[in-house]
């Protein structure tokens, strides 16, 4: 896909994410009708409203590209070289708790790597987006975008950690580090904080799904950062069950070469 076509697609996905955001906010938080999925995670009317707003539009934008959505009843059996990863509402626990840190995540995967991503925060009115190799941006809904960049690390690192899913392995990893400040944040916003230079590190040493992180991965990499396995290898997508065993997101890829210090 040439740069012009990628930019047009990014604009199209931005519109889709904003429409999904509107659909989420239109659902009364007092009438979300929470229920549990087979894996025990919560789902609400807002999740389903966002899914319904997203999938037909993606099918129109990229009619030949398979769509993998967290809320889909069926997952495509054949993905090919490219597919779309969708989390219609990432951070359902935050939504149910009355917190505004939930997002809409849209990503294009090509040959096992996120190449384009959009993360919208409906209640905050912000959207982050990026094309790997061509930069990342942040914008308020309906306004012009501003370029963002991840930052070079200082002596005291800032680690973004999950507000609802901080696992024991990640907690122990951070406890071993020297001079690492923790900042709690919900959903894919942790990637966005790294992408805009507000944090340096986001470790998650417990399983998650590809649709939870792919859009944020693309935005962060477009902003100059990186996402790897805990051993520092590139993180790839298209795994069985769309499961990611663990990962570490880095605001500055130079930190990867210092991982021996971080993990000592």
| Domain coordinates in residue numbering, the chain | 3-148, 157-262
C-alpha dist (Å) from residue 94 to 11, 39, 97, 110, 164:
27, 18, 5, 30, 7
The percentage of residues in the chain with a pLDDT greater than 70, rounded to a whole number, is 94
CATH 3.30.43.10 at 3-148, yes or no: no
Q: Where are the alpha helices (DSSP H) in 62-130?
A: 92-96
> Is 69's pLDDT higher than 80?
yes
Q: Which residue has the tokens 């994410």?
A: 17
Q: Bigger pLDDT: 225 or 262? A: 225
- Report d(CA 252, CA 201) in Å as an integer: 9
pLDDT band per the 50, 70, 90 thresholds, residue 179: confident
CATH topology of domain 157-262: D-Maltodextrin-Binding Protein; domain 2 (3.40.190)
- Same CATH fold, 157-262 and 3-148? no
Counting Cβ atoms within 10 Å, is residue 114 exposed (0-12), middle (13-18) or buried (19+)? buried
pLDDT band per the 50, 70, 90 thresholds, residue 74: confident
pLDDT of residue 34: 62
Cα angle 261, 262, 264 (rounded to 5 degrees) comes to 65
Question: 39-53, 76-90, 177-191, 204-218 — which is least confidently predicted?
Answer: 39-53
Phi/psi of residue 238, each to 5°?
95, 25
Under 8 Å between Cβ of 201 and 249: yes
pLDDT of residue 261: 44
Non-local CB neighbours of 22 within 8 Å, separated by 6+ positions: 53, 122
Nearest one of 125, 51, 62, 58 to 89, comparing CA atoms: 51
Under 8 Å between Cβ of 114 and 237: yes
Q: Which one-letter DSSP state was computed for residue 156? A: S
């Amino acid at each position: 896909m040439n740069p012009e076509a990628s930019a047009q697609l990014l604009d199209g996905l931005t519109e889709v994410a904003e429409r999904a955001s509107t659909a989420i906010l239109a659902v009364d938080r007092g009438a979300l009708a929470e229920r549990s999925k087979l894996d025990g995670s919560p789902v609400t009317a807002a999740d389903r409203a966002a899914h319904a707003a997203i999938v037909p539009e993606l099918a129109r934008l990229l009619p030949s590209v398979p769509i993998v959505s967290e809320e889909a009843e069926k997952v495509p059996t054949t993905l090919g070289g490219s597919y779309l990863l969708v989390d219609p509402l990432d951070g359902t626990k935050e939504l149910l708790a009355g917190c505004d840190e939930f997002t809409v995540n849209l990503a294009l995967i090509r040959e096992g790597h996120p190449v384009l991503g959009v993360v919208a925060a409906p209640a905050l009115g912000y959207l982050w987006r990026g094309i790997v190799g061509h930069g990342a941006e942040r914008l308020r809904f309906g306004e012009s975008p501003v370029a963002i960049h991840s930052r070079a690390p200082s002596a005291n690192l800032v680690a973004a950690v999950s507000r609802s899913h901080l696992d024991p392995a990640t907690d122990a990893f951070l406890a071993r580090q020297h001079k690492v400040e923790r900042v709690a944040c919900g959903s894919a916003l942790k990637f966005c904080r790294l992408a805009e230079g507000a944090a340096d590190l986001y470790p998650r040493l417990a399983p998650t799904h590809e649709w939870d992180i792919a859009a944020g991965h693309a935005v962060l990499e477009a902003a100059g950062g990186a996402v790897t396995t805990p051993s520092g290898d590139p993180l790839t997508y298209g795994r069985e069950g769309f499961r990611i065993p663990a990962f570490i997101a880095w605001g500055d890829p130079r930190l990867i070469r210092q991982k021996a210090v971080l993990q000592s």
